[in-house]
Structures are given as structure tokens and as C-alpha cells.
């Protein structure tokens, strides 16, 4: 939705994959300047004796601190973040890095293997069981190992996710609140997206449980499960690099829009008919009340039903799998009633980029509070 994504990939695709060793041990943050480590850590055993592991990379720059944790695939079918982490390790020169990065491309290897959100045998959602249990089920043990050996050793982190299958989400950080826990917005804003979502979370989510012990972890949603999509991978790269620049791990100015919009509480647009859904909007577009969102057409009678926006809204997600029943969600929207334009991030000498979303929203005659 930000139009052009500038990832500088043509010039920078140099492979810095001269890893020191492949170790079955916890990450070593005491490696030398400019060194990289690749390894795997044991979490528990399967029925046939196979070890369940968490594979990781470590890259140490010219300074040791801060330590940034990048992880993906807490949900095994969410692939874009896996590629983002691999590209970060392929493209960043450790000698340009002021800090250490720990990269965990796939936390939930069991679910990844099963092409599934969760491990189908255990059935537990890894992102609902943090900080995990040492003697729990295999998913709880993975959570325990990840939380204690990776999260607790980081100063902050980015937790990469996507929408579920058939549920494509625009790139955005999702700020999770829980009871009296409400994280600082600065970490989410440092990704540089125009839209930031404020959303009540659940107990056991990584961002909430890490935040409660003072380690800010940002949930960053990029795209749709089950797919590798260049647009969302680029958006993920851009967000991670912005974050690293903002916190001084990389040199350079982060590209952060002067105006970022904070939206709260998404709503679903539900089909009232069965058939095939033909979307007429894209994720990231602004829609006025009564605007067409799509058509549901019966493949047997040709009868058409028009789906309209029931309010002024931002389309944050559109169904990408066309077969729907009555009751299937076809779009996910956020309304502007609770939308606020955030004040520009201060004292960081940021580039003043125009905010496309603010201008489109105003063009459509939708009010945003400043
Ligand atoms: Zn997820």
C-alpha cells in the first residue's frame, strides 16, 4: 500500500553466509566482531526419537549490543517472514551492523513440516502458550525453549506473521494489549508503515508475554499464509531495516511517514449468500459507506449479490479464496471512528514523506482526528 518498496535488492544481494559452525546448542552471543553462527537447539523428542529443534542464525556486528531477535513461523504456514529473515542474513554485512541479530526463520518446525498453523498432533497454538512449560506438551516445550533461550536474551524483537490462508492482510504492526498491559507504540511505529493496528490480544501471545517482562516484541503482519509473495517480503524487509535504522543498529535514515494512522478494532464483512466471491477492492484501499466491496455470484443460477461497505473504512484484508458460504468473511475492515493521526516521531530527524493513506482518506471525505 505504500506504492514503491525500495529494498535496494539489486545492488545488495551479496551472500554473507560464511557461518562459523553448525552447532546443536543455544545461541552464542559472545562470538567475535563480524562473525556469524548457525545452530539448532533441542526442545524435546517425538514418538520415533526424532529431536524437535529450533534452528537459528546469529550475526554479530562491530558492537555486541543491542540484541535484536527476528523470528517467523510461530504459525507453521506463515512463510513470508521466513524469507525476510533469510534475506536479512544474506544481505547485511556484519561489519555495517552495530549490535547483534538473532534470526529464527521457523520457530514452529513441527507445524511448518505439517504445512499447518499448529502441530496437528499437539493441536496447541504456539502463540497462545508463551512463556511455555518445561514439562509441557511438545508445543509448550518449544515455547519454553524459545522464550528462555532466545527472547530473554534479546533487547527487543520483531515477530513476523501473516493472515491465515485465504486472508490477505496489508503490511502492518499489530499492537497487542492485554488487561493492564499496553505496550509503547514507538517500536511498532519504527517499522514505518502508514497504518498501525491497536488490538486486544490474548494471554500467551509472544508480544504480550515478552512485553510483560520488559522485552518489547512487535508483531508484524505481512500478507497471507501458504504463499511467498514478493510484495509482502519487500514490505517486511523494509520494515525490519527501518526498525534497525531507527534504533541505530544500521546507519541511515528510516523511511517513516510523517503521518502514521492508529486504528482500533477491526470488523468483518460477512457474506449472506453462498457462491463465488469476486472482490472489487484491494487490501489497503479506503472505501466509503455503501461502496462495492465485491460480488458473490452463484455458479448454478448466475444470480449476483453485491457486497457493500457498511461504513467508511480501510480495507485491511480481502478474501483471496473465492468459494464462500453464508457466514464466510469476505473482507476485514477498520473504521475511522476510532482512528487517530499520530504526531510525528520526535528527535529522530526522520525523512518527511507524504502519507498516501492520509491524502486518500481526506479525498474521500473521511474524517481523521489529528
Ligand atoms: Zn501468525
Ligand 1 geometric centre to CA of 73 (Å): 7
CA 322 to mean position of chain CA atoms: 24
What percentage of the chain has pLDDT greater than the value 90?
A: 72
DSSP string, 329-345: EEEEEEESTT-EEEPPP
Band of pLDDT at residue 9, cut at 50, 70 and 90: very low
Ligand 1 geometric centre to CA of 138 (Å): 18
Ligand 1 geometric centre to CA of 354 (Å): 30
CA distances from 117 to 109, 120, 165 (A): 11, 8, 9
Comparing 330 with 361, which gets the higher pLDDT? 330
Ligand 1 geometric centre to CA of 262 (Å): 21
Three-class DSSP labels, 135-201: CCCHHHHHHHHHHHHCHHHCCEEEEEEEECCCEEEEEEEEEEEECCECCCCHHHHCCCCCEEEEEEC
Ligand 1 geometric centre to CA of 3 (Å): 25
Ligand 1 geometric centre to CA of 314 (Å): 21
Band of pLDDT at residue 198, cut at 50, 70 and 90: confident
Measured distance CA(222)–CA(230) in Å, rounded: 11
DSSP type of residue 300: T
* All domains in the chain, ordered by first residue: 14-261 (3.40.630.10), 266-335 (2.40.50.100)
pLDDT (tens digit per residue) in 205-222: 999 999 999 999 999 999
The candidate with the shortest Cα–Cα distance to 67, out of 98, 101, 115, 110, is 101
Find out whether 11 and 21 touch, Cβ atoms under 8 Å.
no
- Cell 449472506 locates to 272
Q: State if pTM tops 0.85.
A: yes
- Average the pLDDT over 176-190 and give the result: 92
Ligand 1 geometric centre to CA of 125 (Å): 9
Amino acid at each position: 500500500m505504500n506504492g514503491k518498496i525500495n529494498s535496494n535488492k539489486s545492488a545488495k544481494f551479496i551472500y554473507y553466509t560464511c557461518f562459523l559452525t553448525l552447532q546443536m546448542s543455544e545461541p552464542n552471543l559472545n562470538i567475535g566482531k563480524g562473525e556469524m553462527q548457525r545452530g539448532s537447539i533441542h526442545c524435546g523428542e517425538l514418538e520415533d526419537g526424532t529431536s524437535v529443534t529450533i534452528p537459528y542464525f546469529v550475526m554479530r556486528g562491530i558492537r555486541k549490543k543491542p540484541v535484536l531477535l527476528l523470528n517467523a513461523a510461530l504459525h507453521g504456514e506463515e512463510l513470508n517472514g521466513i524469507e525476510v529473515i533469510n534475506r536479512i542474513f544474506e544481505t547485511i554485512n556484519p561489519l555495517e551492523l552495530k549490535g547483534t541479530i538473532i534470526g529464527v526463520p521457523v520457530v514452529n518446525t513441527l507445524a511448518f513440516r505439517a504445512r499447518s498453523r499448529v502441530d496437528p498432533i499437539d493441536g496447541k497454538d504456539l502463540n497462545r502458550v508463551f512463556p511455555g512449560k518445561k514439562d509441557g506438551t511438545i508445543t509448550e516445550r518449544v515455547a519454553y525453549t524459545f522464550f528462555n533461550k532466545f527472547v530473554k536474551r534479546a533487547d527487543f524483537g520483531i515477530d513476523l506473521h501473516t493472515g491465515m490462508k485465504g486472508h490477505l492482510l496489508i503490511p502492518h504492526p499489530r499492537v497487542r494489549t492485554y488487561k493492564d498491559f499496553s505496550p509503547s507504540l514507538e517500536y511498532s511505529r519504527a517499522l514505518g508503515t502508514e497504518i498501525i493496528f491497536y488490538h486486544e490480544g490474548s494471554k500467551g501471545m509472544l508480544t504480550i508475554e515478552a512485553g510483560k517482562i520488559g522485552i518489547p516484541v512487535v508483531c508484524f503482519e505481512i500478507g497471507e499464509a501458504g504463499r511467498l509473495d514478493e510484495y509482502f517480503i519487500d514490505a517486511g524487509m523494509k520494515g525490519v531495516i527501518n526498525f534497525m535504522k531507527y534504533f541505530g543498529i544500521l546507519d541511515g535514515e528510516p523511511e517513516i511517514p510523517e503521518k502514521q494512522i492508529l486504528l482500533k478494532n477491526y470488523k468483518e464483512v460477512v457474506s449472506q449468500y453462498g457462491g463465488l466471491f469476486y472482490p472489487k477492492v484491494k487490501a489497503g484501499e479506503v472505501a466509503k459507506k455503501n461502496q462495492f466491496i465485491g460480488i458473490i455470484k452463484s455458479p448454478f443460477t448466475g444470480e449476483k449479490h453485491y457486497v457493500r461497505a457498511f461504513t467508511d473504512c480501510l480495507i485491511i484484508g480481502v478474501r483471496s479464496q473465492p468459494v464462500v458460504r453464508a457466514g464466510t468473511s469476505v473482507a476485514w475492515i477498520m473504521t475511522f471512528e476510532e482512528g487517530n493521526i499520530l504526531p510525528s516521531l520526535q528527535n529522530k530527524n526522520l525523512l518527511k514523506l507524504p502519507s498516501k493513506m492520509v491524502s486518500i482518506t481526506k479525498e474521500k471525505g473521511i474524517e481523521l482526528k489529528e
